[in-house]
Amino acid sequence: MLAAPTGGNLQAWAFVAIQNPRNLKLLRAFAPGIIQPPPLIVAACFDRSRAVKNDGTFWDEGLLCVAMAVENLLLAAHSMGLGGCPVASFRRESVQALLELPKHVEPLLLVPIGYPARPLASPPRRDRSEVISYEFWGNHDATRG
Ligand SMILES: Cc1cc2nc3c(=O)[nH]c(=O)nc-3n(C[C@H](O)[C@H](O)[C@H](O)COP(=O)(O)O)c2cc1C
């Protein structure tokens, strides 16, 4: 997870691993999409204190670095026979308070990790010919251009 690429090597991320069943249950109360309490939830956060530009504004691209770290986490879990899912729909203020996050640490994704209830098939995706162009927009013929 921490090997993910990060713009300017800012590493403006922070993670909280929640395993205590009581805390998992509480956290789930603020994230209705998490159906059953998993054995582990990783709260992936953006640490704004590490992403301040000279003019005082924030380097919001840091959000992408957190997403990359989460993808690494999902791939690592998958490689160990575990399953995970990024969850963005949760009550931010409540999670912030529950995890005692300082103001500059913003929870972006909750990632429940656990053993899959059943073997998972490859997820359906839009056809590559619809979403990938070659050389210029709309050219779906890789030999042309
Ligand atoms: C940024 C992001 C936010 C997501 N938020 C939620 C969420 O709040 N609740 C949820 O059930 N799934 C969430 N997901 C999972 C997606 O719904 C899921 O990846 C998508 O439906 C495709 O399913 P698949 O990855 O199994 O193919 C999120 C995924 C991403 C990338």
Q: Which two tokens stand for residue 119?
A: 């073997």
Pocket test for ligand 1, best of 72, 74, 85 (most atoms within 8 A of CB): 85
Residue with CA at minimum distance from ligand 1 atom 3: 88
pLDDT of 31: 96
pLDDT of 89: 96
Give the integer Cα–Cα distance in Å for 47 and 65: 11
Ligand 1 pocket, residue 5 CB under 6 Å? no
Helix, coil or strand: residue 34 = coil
The DSSP symbol for 7 reads G
pTM for the model stands at 0.93
**Which residue positions in the chain have pLDDT lower than 70?**
none
pLDDT of 26: 96
pLDDT of 144: 87
Residue with CA at minimum distance from ligand 1 atom 31: 86
Per-residue pLDDT tens over the stretch 98-122 = 999 999 999 999 999 999 988 888 8
Number of C-beta neighbours around residue 17 at 10 A: 10
Residues 6 or more apart in contact with residue 5 via CB below 8 angstroms: 65, 68
pLDDT of 119: 85
